[in-house]
Structure 1
Amino acid sequence: MTRITVLGSTNMDLVAYVTTAPRSGETVTGHEFRTIPGGKGANQAVAAARAGAEVAMIGAVGTDDFGRRLRATLEGSGVDIDLLRTTEGPTGTAHIVVDRDGANSIVVIPGANGSVTSLSHADRAVIAEARSLLLQLELPMSAVLEGAEVARRNGVRTILTPAPAQPLPSQLLAATDLLVPNEHEAATLTGISGDPQRAAEALLAQVPEVVITLGARGCLYASRAQSEPVAVLAPPVTAVDTTGAGDTFVGALAVALAEGRPMIDALTWASSAAALSVQRAGAATSMPYRGEIDA
């Protein structure tokens, strides 16, 4: 079975569903509230495990009930949590507002995630044994960079989701094989807004391959090995909640690539996984299993 390691965040998502998201200074009445296991790292781990990989999760939860629930969710999805630390204090939380179109806005409170500043010997060993390492930016940058460098030294493909959007150290970009930003993140990294193709081409100066996710419009793939970016369309669906869709896409993409599928086939398969996830509420709880994606 394909081995994937995820170094990333675990959060409890506190989700309010509203008709229209509030503007600055405005109060609105919602119609539903849920607490749902999430965090970009945990989301990608669950997505990859459900898509058929053997997945190890490196990160941290707190000593509260949220931490216990996150552990149970990951383990229940088949994720190896031996390297998921428990630290004194609260688990990370994400405060999410979802409107009637399924669009969301999010505030993340790091909590226990902030304690992961470096890797243990066991962490480094699990990364070295993987086919792919999935990284995001909800852990301290020191740990993210260390993970990427361990992967590079051991020939492990590093897939980086640059979220929350922020300038990236040159050392991290140098150790990244595939960068997967959304449109907003690509614009933050390049200063190019409203033109994903130009943004993708600019990012190729820093990494060998880029996939910019475009929501309902699919994604755009660019590589130093080809002359023009390639667009891959997403299946047309009615979105209920887009929370975790990008993480579903990345988790499924990592599995497909680790299995040796050609990039365009892998992107199509990952787009199908994301399209399934947005038709259900929540992040990790909405992610499809391999049989559903294949169908």
Structure 2
Amino acid sequence: MGRVVVVGSTSMDVVARVDRIPGPGETVTGSSVTLSPGGRGANQAVAARRLSAATVMVGAVGSDGFGSALREFLRAEGVDVTSLAVVDGPSGTAVTTIDEAGESVIVIVPGANATVSANGLDALRLGPGDMVLLQNEIPASVNAAALDRARAAGARTLLNASPHRPTATGQPSTTGQPSTTGQPTATGQPTATDLLAEVDVVLVNEHEFTGLVPAAVGVGSLPGPRALVEVRGLLADGAGPNDNIVVTLGGAGVCARIAGTVVTLAGRRVPVVDTAGADDCFCGAFGAGLAGGLPAATALFHANLAATIAVQRPGAGPAMPTRAELEDLLTGGGP
């Protein structure tokens, strides 16, 4: 069994609940405020670790109180934080306001996440059994460097291309071909297209997927998410060395194309409390399944179920399910 190695973001989620979202210049009174450890990278690391995968977090937190709390949360979850750097300054923070209807506005302040370095991978001795998870809440250059190291070691890679990060022009590099991660485009930075072309698996939600498709394809004319996954070559330079892509569909489930085979899984109808960490849960659980040697279709099935548990709880990182809870659901005893 390999490890799940997450190179990504950590942040403290500050969530205020209000009757309605205030307009510009308006002040409203909230009903509650909560602090919850989060960040896409940290959420994915906790999801993988709670499902029994040996998990390492490569990232950065600030020298403030949030940084101490984030580091301790991950350590208490059993995540290896040896490569989680502490840097001078503030930690990453996400400030969210949610109204009674569930609508929200979110402000993300990167803080220490802007300083994340792929050098944290150097002492880990990556190998073919390891699964490296990346997201777009850290600089693209860091993702590129992490891909270089992972590929050199024979480790597999998954990019959760969220939030959507378009190229500067919306088009491939000037050569028409993806650059290698070691050779960024003329701008001096690797583009979103370059990264998509080089990871083993791309994972996005259905809304983000439409942002990856060239406008000329006419996404709106396609008959649905399954078609988006089935049609090959939609991405400007493909979707990774093996053209593997996973598209999560919220409550509707997931569509994926893995090694040329299309897999569709329906969602389960459950009472939804908070969807904030659902995709992170799916990503971490999927990575844990692959690192544990599960076939891709089985890992997708487990990840889909894990996400249905997470949305029934408030928060992101703390909402991730355990191995025992997933197994209970797999055997029919869970919700």
TM-score by length of 2: 0.81
Q: Deviations over 1:170-206 (max 9, x none)?
A: 4312321111101121011114358323433324833
Worse-superposed segment, 92-101 or 17-26? 17-26
Q: Which ranges in structure 1 are unaligned for 5 or more consecutive residues?
A: none
Relative to structure 1, the CA distance from residue 214 to residue 255 in structure 2 (aligned partners, 3 Å threshold; closer, same or farther) is same
Cα drift, residue 107 of structure 1:
2.1
Cα drift, residue 233 of structure 1:
1.1
Partner of 1:231: 264
The question of 1:80 aligning with 2:80 is answered yes
SS at match of 1:128: coil
Q: Which structure has the larger Rg over C-alpha atoms?
A: 2
Measure the CA separation in 2 of the matches of 1:267 and 1:106: 29
Partner of 2:157: 158
Partner of 1:6: 6
Relative to structure 1, the CA distance from residue 252 to residue 101 in structure 2 (aligned partners, 3 Å threshold; closer, same or farther) is farther
Relative to structure 1, the CA distance from residue 35 to residue 260 in structure 2 (aligned partners, 3 Å threshold; closer, same or farther) is same
Cα drift, residue 261 of structure 1:
1.8
Measure the CA separation in 2 of the matches of 1:54 and 1:102: 35
Relative to structure 1, the CA distance from residue 104 to residue 218 in structure 2 (aligned partners, 3 Å threshold; closer, same or farther) is farther
Relative to structure 1, the CA distance from residue 279 to residue 89 in structure 2 (aligned partners, 3 Å threshold; closer, same or farther) is same
What pairs up with 1:210-289 in 2 under 5 angstroms?
210-226=245-261, 229-289=262-322
Measure the CA separation in 2 of the matches of 1:19 and 1:275: 26
Count residues with an aligned counterpart.
291
The question of 1:126 aligning with 2:124 is answered yes
8 Å Cα contact 1:101/1:239 also seen in 2 = no
Cα drift, residue 269 of structure 1:
0.9
Cα drift, residue 217 of structure 1:
0.5
Q: Deviations over 1:201-234 (max 9, x none)?
A: 32483322111011111111123523xx332112
Measure the CA separation in 1 of the matches of 2:35 and 2:86: 20
Q: Deviations over 1:118-150 (max 9, x none)?
A: 432x52342623610000011111111110121
Q: Deviations over 1:234-265 (max 9, x none)?
A: 22111111111100011011111222222222
Partner of 1:140: 139
What pairs up with 1:171-186 in 2 under 5 angstroms?
171-186=194-209
8 Å Cα contact 1:234/1:268 also seen in 2 = no
Partner of 1:42: 42
Measure the CA separation in 2 of the matches of 1:70 and 1:13: 10
The question of 1:114 aligning with 2:98 is answered no
Worse-superposed segment, 244-253 or 90-99? 90-99
Worse-superposed segment, 234-243 or 23-32? 23-32
Cα drift, residue 17 of structure 1:
2.5
SS at match of 2:90: coil
Partner of 2:228: 199
Cα drift, residue 27 of structure 1:
5.5
Aligned AA (1:115): T
Measure the CA separation in 2 of the matches of 1:79 and 1:254: 15
Relative to structure 1, the CA distance from residue 26 to residue 182 in structure 2 (aligned partners, 3 Å threshold; closer, same or farther) is farther
8 Å Cα contact 1:103/1:241 also seen in 2 = no
8 Å Cα contact 2:200/2:244 also seen in 1 = yes
8 Å Cα contact 2:274/2:313 also seen in 1 = yes
Q: Which ranges in structure 2 are unaligned for 5 or more consecutive residues?
A: 167-190, 329-335
